[in-house]
Structure 1
Amino acid sequence: MAVRTGAQRLAEDPGLVPDGRLGLITNFTGVLPDLTPTSVALRASGVPLTALFGPEHGLRGTAQAGASEGEGVDPDTGLPVFDTYRRKGRALHDLFSGVDALLFDIQDIGTRFYTYIWTMYDCQQAAARLGLPFVVLDRPNPLGGVRVEGPMLQPGFESFVGRAPIPLRHGLTVGELALQLGTATVIPMEGWRRDTATTGLPWVPPSPNMPTPDTALVYPGTGLFEGTNLSEGRGTTRPFETIGAPYVDDRFVPALRALDLPGVSFRRTWFEPVFSKYAGQVVSGVQLHVDDPEMFEPVRTALEMLRVLNELYPDFALLPSLDKLWGSDSLRKALEAGDDPVELLPPATTPSSWVRPGVLLYEGDAR
């Protein structure tokens, strides 16, 4: 049986949210199991929506990374659409002047540097300052809710890819994150367990470079390659599963295979990105093939890849954005010193090791 999302529950019972003028923070991932947009379903059920608010990539998802669609009118509902992307403080407050409460319904992918959760955080903080109720319509974490990987964000490294101290692979749903990070009401899912990624729900690619669940699975690790001079596969059909650069040769894949990393195999590949790094150039690299999602450790795998690259290739270089992605400067400094970055990894753990009491909403092995 498919999971019943918070949006589906609200569409069936509009009394779950406050009366008054309601604004919905959403995008193309906000759909019911039959793929009806949440905004359309809620309007049809009598929920008094008066405005829609879109994140990075826009309400419809046509904008690439680092962009949004701007403002206008939603053709499906006739509601005004406002752009929240990169707005903070007074600029964000002014957007919410015409609503009495805010709802949030966007699909996250379980990784700290994916920006939708920080759109939620910024809007949640604005709602708190304005005295507006903030209601999250919860959705599954596609990575499951048991494993936590990678370091916490450290003070001084806050950005739009990490506003607050959470682990790199955080193990929470958006509703649980909202409870951890501030004040919110959550309409929880029914039928979801932490210890399974199976939901029965359709996969809607959450952004232009997150086409499949396989992409989401590797992203907590290979997303770090955005902070290097290797292509992270943007501009290909398998972003974040495909990594490469012009200087990568036939030594890279054998070196990775020799590590015998759990749950993953490596295949040498060549590709030509149509945009982003090395656009229009044929580059050599590797494609990750996840054989066993339960055993696969995306963050450790990426750190091993970075170590091998650092040892093999003088042209390998780090970009300033790596510190923000990692959440501190420790990874950059380790690589620059020739140290083993895998030693930076904290022990693997579970969500209950870092969240406040009362945050975890769902059963399944979270010890």
Structure 2
Amino acid sequence: MRLSRRALLAATAVAPLPACTASPSTASPSTASPSAAEDRGRLRTGFERLADDGYALLDGARVGIVTNPTGVTRDVRHVVDVMHADDRVNLVAVLGPEHGFRGTAQAGGSEGRHDDPATGLPVHDTYLKRGQPLANVFTAAGVDTVVFDIQDVGARFYTYVWTLYDCMEAARLAGKRFVVLDRPNPVTGRAASGPVLHREFASFVGRQPVAQAHGMTVAELARLFNGEFLAAPVELDVVRMTGWRRSQWYDATGLPWVPASPNMPTPDTALVYAGTCLLEGTNLSEGRGTTRPFELLGAEGIDGRWAAAVNGLGLPGAHAREAYFAPAFSKFRGRTVGGVQIHVHDRDAYDPVRTGVALLVTAKRVWSGFAWRSDHWIDRLTGSARVRTAIDAGANVDEVVAGWREELAAFGRVRREYLLYE
């Protein structure tokens, strides 16, 4: 890895929120740190703390915000609507990611350039833009400060974290300041798990060496990106939460859940997603087009043997139920397929990445029609060819998991340098 933590702090020193008191042992100059009184209170998101402080961090700035439907307050008002109505904020542009600012586009789509009918603000499209073309969008939007406020789900291949990365790099190129408003990792931030991406497999579902389930918040990821991966640091300020602990699940936060994308309807979806999204790299349905995406999995010709094989592995925290469904869109649209539904009965014991590997190993064993996608998309999802080639060679689940143990440990050591919460 490239920069030390000390180098990061020296390169990104900006003033904390005036209402906060920084502790030398727990906060950096680039991080708005909570007071002791705030720590004893309820969970407050980065946006809540920014607003409660009168938006002092944005004083005098022409602000553009990268956000989507998850950028809401506790009473489910969108932060764009709140900021637009507040004279203390000069919000001049909205920047929409994949699925769009208002979230109407399916996977692989966006809403394009338009004016928001609710506020009249120009909405610029960031999807599939990076580097200088994205920097040019920031310049054309007339902003000098780019704010990021999107709810992540904790998986490396969820594209919003790479929208964050691309926007940070573009802000650096355009000479803009970058502010990240933190939100919880809905599946806790206890630990990272799964394989780490190899750079030769980089894509929009993973640009840099990060574990498949990263166990970080977006503010922590921003610090990691700034310290390890950007060509040079951007002027970065993160507004951390108060009242969140790494062991906390989303349903304990008191925050409303807004679907983070059209196929992420509930926190239960996020719980399994870091593993079952691997089915996207095969000819099996990952449940898109059903009411339980990433929980329902299957294909034509699969019967109850798959569920039996999965349950025979004794996976911690979950059972597989034999299931049949007919997707309304995506793979097998309108056709009845057989497969499984993953039911998590102990989320503290559940390992989504191990479960995802187990599903691949057993599907290949019990269904003669199993095939990887011809573009080897599975390699982009797992971050290398290792998982695919190991399964093809007949490796069992333990053997596949052992293949990433050393690289995961190395990532974990770097990850610790950028964590903000206990």
Normalising by the residue count of structure 1, what TM-score does the alignment of the two structures yield? 0.95
The answer to whether the 8 A contact 1:72-1:80 is kept is: yes
- 1:40 maps to 81
Pairing of 1:157-172 with structure 2 (within 5 A) = 157-172=201-216
CA contact 2:165–2:225 (8 Å) conserved in 1: yes
Deviations 1:75-123 (A, max 9, x none): 2222100000001223211110111110000110000000001111100
Q: Does the C-alpha gap of structure 1 residues 323 and 350 become closer, same or farther in structure 2, counting only changes over 3 Å?
A: closer
Deviations along 1:23-81, one digit per CA (max 9) or x if unpaired, are 10011110111111111222333211100000000011110000001111112222100
2:70–2:259 Cα contact (<8 Å) kept = yes
Q: Deviations over 1:274-324 (max 9, x none)?
A: 111111110000000000100000111111111111112221001121110
Distance in structure 1 (CA, Å) of the matches to 2:200 and 2:82? 42
Identify the residue that residue 136 of structure 1 maps to in structure 2. Answer: 180
Q: What's 1:29 paired with?
A: 70
Match of 1:280 among 322, 334, 338: 334
Long gaps (5+) in structure 1: none
**% of aligned pairs identical?**
51
Match of 1:8 in 2: 48
Q: Residue deviations 1:341-362, cap 9 Å, x none?
A: 54232448798533262x1111
- Equivalences for residues 100-119 of structure 1 within 5 A: 100-119=144-163
Aligned mate of 1:186, from 223, 226, 238: 238
- Report if aligned partners of 1:57, 1:207 keep a CA contact under 8 Å in 2: yes
Provide the C-alpha distance between the structure 1 equivalents of 2:398 and 2:269, rounded to a whole number of angstroms.
22
Alpha-carbon distance between aligned partners in 1 of 2:110 and 2:51, rounded to the nearest angstrom: 27
> Which of 362, 365, 369 in structure 2 is aligned with 1:315?
369
1:293 aligns with 2:337: no
Give, as a single letter, the amino acid of the residue that structure 2 aligns with 1:185: D
Asked if structure 2 preserves the Cα contact closer than 8 Å seen for 1:310 and 1:338, the reply is no
The answer to whether the 8 A contact 2:303-2:322 is kept is no
Equivalent pair of 2:132/2:173 in contact (CA under 8 Å): no
- The 1-side partners of 2:158 and 2:95 are apart by 18
Instruction: State how far apart, in whole Å, the 1-side matches of 2:299 and 2:96 are.
Output: 34
Alignment size in residue pairs:
362
Paired residues of 1:331 and 1:341 also in contact (CA < 8 A)? no
- Does the CA-based 8 Å contact 1:18-1:101 persist in structure 2? no
Moved more, 7-16 or 211-220: 7-16
Residue 420 of structure 2: aligned partner: 361
Q: State how far apart, in whole Å, the 2-side matches of 1:7 and 1:201 are.
A: 13
More divergent stretch after superposition (185-194 vs 7-16):
7-16
**RMSD between superposed Cα atoms in Å:** 1.6
Find the aligned partners of 2:72 and 2:409 in 1 and give their Cα distance. Answer: 32
Deviates more, 1:303-312 or 1:268-277: 303-312
Letter in 1 for 2:148: F
CA contact (8 A) 1:147 1:349 kept: no
Distance 2:257 2:416 in 1: 30
Matched, 1:196 2:248: yes
Q: What CA distance in whole angstroms lies between the structure 2 residues aligned with 1:2 and 1:231?
A: 40
Distance in 1 of aligned mates of 2:411 and 2:76: 30
Letter in 2 for 1:300: R
Kept in 1, the 8 Å contact 2:124–2:137? The answer is yes
Secondary structure in 1 aligned to 2:50?
Answer: helix
| Secondary structure at the counterpart of residue 83 of structure 2 | helix
Higher mean Cα deviation, 228-237 or 17-26?
A: 17-26
1:65 is aligned to 2:107: yes
- Relative to structure 2, which stretch is displaced further, 346-355 or 250-259? 346-355
Following superposition of structure 1 onto structure 2, how do residues 326-341 of structure 1 map, counting pairs within 5 Å? 326-341=382-397
Contact residue 22 and residue 48 of structure 1 kept, 8 A: yes
CA–CA distance in structure 2, aligned partners of residues 89 and 243 of structure 1: 37
